[in-house]
Amino acid sequence: MWEVGQPLDIREVDLDEPKAGEVLVKIGSAGICRSDRHFMHGDAPIAIPVVLGHEGAGTVVQTGPGVTLASEGDQVILSFVPACGRCRSCLEGHSNLCDLHGATGANMLDGTTRLHADGKDVHHMGKVACFAEYAVIPETGVVPLTDSIPMDKAAMIGCSVTTGVGAAIYSAEVKPGSTVAVIGCGGVGLSVIMGAALANASQIIAVDIREAQLEFAMRFGATHTVNAADQDPVRQVKDLTGGRGADYTFEVFGSGDTTKAAYDMAAKRGIVTVVGIAPWGQEASINAVDLVRNEKTLRGSYYGSARSRTDMPVMVDLYQSGKLNLDDLVVRHYTLDQINEAYADLDRGEIGRGAIMF
Ligand code: COD
Ligand code: ZN
């Protein structure tokens, strides 16, 4: 991406060798996630030029000096928050919020880039930059697979699955028998639904503005659907839960309005988990009295509050034991040359997840 608002440019760029603590990965698959779209539209800031792509999997083909966490030939899931293991967040067990990663943004952990073009530094989205045949990645940003699984499924675990399933089971800690509402049923929202189903929620209400998305959500564990294009989703969720509202609500689109709706449709003592990031500057207003009188909890969830190196292997196990339906999640495959078409499909609201195969 050279400029905000322009199509992605597919071209050759220079990639340095991996430095100390870094590995070179041959990318196998990269997922089409809306977060990249936010950067393309300028809804979220990122250093440019940049190689986008943060949902990926591949094979380690070279290791830099001192690497101990991965070996040549390892099949790996890529994590867009490579944890340093030494900052306060990592030490407290919240490696998804690694301070050093946060401070170095779309550069490597030493603050420099391995990508260059036309004499300029090119940045690495999430230190992953997997819309490319090869990527140099910090060793803590790769999670080796012990058993081989298809690369497109492994890629989904790198973002949507861990973000969504993690939001349900690690951030919100959905309890068996509870009621759940999920606003936004794209790749990430469907994964929240799968997480709520894994946690044995009794009622899972899918909310979207597209009927096809809602029908699709039923395959992943939704028990009820609400089309927010023609009905008030807050009213509908309350009606479906005997007037109480849902015990757990999730915002998985990214806007002030849907955040407010997620808050308003929560029951007394409800847990409201916001996964989507609204365009920069947007705010969500909540009723300050209701917050206290109904003892609601409003919280954010980034990367499913997961610890990639231990929690992504859990997602792999759940997939292999048939408890996470990743086979139905990925519905379309593209080549890298078709990436702009893939994002046009996302904009049109095609159902399920798309993945680039290399
Ligand atoms: N009400 C209900 N549903 C809506 C509404 C609305 N008003 N508007 C749109 N939707 C639906 C769309 O029809 C679509 O089905 C769904 O919301 C969004 O799905 P996708 O496939 O476009 O998006 P995802 O699932 O790829 O990504 C969703 C995120 C919330 C993760 C993304 O938008 C985001 O905010 N990313 C930043 C947050 C983050 O953690 N990023 C890290 C990497 S993902
Ligand atoms: Zn993503």
C-alpha 302 to ligand 2 mean position (Å): 11
Handedness of CA 343, 346, 350, 355 (dihedral sign): positive
Q: What are the b/e assignments for 165-200, b being 16+ CB within 10 Å?
A: bbbbbbbbebeeebbbbbbbbbbbbbbbbbbbbbbe
C-alpha 357 to ligand 1 mean position (Å): 22
Q: Residue 119: what pLDDT?
A: 92
Residue where the block lists tokens 């990269």: 30
- Full pLDDT tens readout for the chain, 358 residues: 999 999 999 999 999 999 999 999 999 999 999 999 999 999 889 999 999 999 999 999 999 999 999 999 999 999 999 988 999 999 999 999 999 999 999 999 999 999 999 999 999 999 999 999 999 999 999 999 999 999 999 999 999 999 999 999 999 999 999 999 999 999 999 999 999 999 999 999 999 999 999 999 999 999 999 999 999 999 999 999 999 999 999 999 999 999 999 999 999 999 999 999 998 889 999 999 999 999 999 999 999 999 999 999 999 999 999 999 999 999 999 999 999 999 999 999 888 999 999 9
Q: How far apart are the first and last CA of the chain?
A: 19
Q: How far apart are CA 135 and CA 23, in angstroms?
A: 8
Could you give the dihedral angle defined by the CA atoms of residues 254, 255, 257 and 262, in that order, rounded to the nearest 10 degrees?
Answer: 20
Best residue among 78, 80, 159, 188 to mutate for probing ligand 1, ranked by most atoms within 8 Å of CB? 188
The CB density around residue 12, as the number of other CB atoms within 10 Å, is: 7
Burial class (CB in 10 A: 0-12, 13-18, 19+), 7: middle
Tell whether ligand 1 has an atom less than 6 A from the beta carbon of residue 260: no
C-alpha 307 to ligand 2 mean position (Å): 16
Tell whether ligand 1 has an atom less than 6 A from the beta carbon of residue 213: yes
Tell whether ligand 1 has an atom less than 6 A from the beta carbon of residue 183: yes
Task: Tell me, yes or no, if 159 is annotated catalytic.
Answer: yes
Tell me how far CA of residue 178 lies from CA of 3, 199, 245, in angstroms. Answer: 45, 9, 11
Nearest atom in ligand 1 to the alpha carbon of residue 187 is 25
Nearest atom in ligand 1 to the alpha carbon of residue 32 is 26
Tell whether ligand 1 has an atom less than 6 A from the beta carbon of residue 259: no
CB 350 within 8 A of CB 332: yes
Tell whether ligand 1 has an atom less than 6 A from the beta carbon of residue 275: yes
Q: Residue 280: what pLDDT?
A: 86
* Nearest CA, atom 11, ligand 1: 184
Task: Tell me, yes or no, if 308 is annotated catalytic.
Answer: no
Nearest atom in ligand 1 to the alpha carbon of residue 257 is 7
Task: Note the ipTM here.
Answer: 0.97
Nearest atom in ligand 1 to the alpha carbon of residue 349 is 13
Q: How far apart are CA 149 and CA 291, in angstroms?
A: 44
Q: How far apart are CA 116 and CA 153, in angstroms?
A: 30
Domains plus CATH for the chain?
A: 14-158+325-357 (3.90.180.10), 164-302 (3.40.50.720)
Task: Tell me, yes or no, if 130 is annotated catalytic.
Answer: no
Q: Which ligand is nearest to the CA of 164?
A: 1
Task: Tell me, yes or no, if 35 is annotated catalytic.
Answer: yes
Catalytic position from the list 159, 178, 301, 305: 159
Catalytic position from the list 54, 123, 124, 224: 54
How many Å separate Cα 49 from the centre of its chain?
22
Task: Tell me, yes or no, if 38 is annotated catalytic.
Answer: yes
Tell whether ligand 1 has an atom less than 6 A from the beta carbon of residue 346: yes
Tell whether ligand 1 has an atom less than 6 A from the beta carbon of residue 207: yes
Tell whether ligand 1 has an atom less than 6 A from the beta carbon of residue 232: no
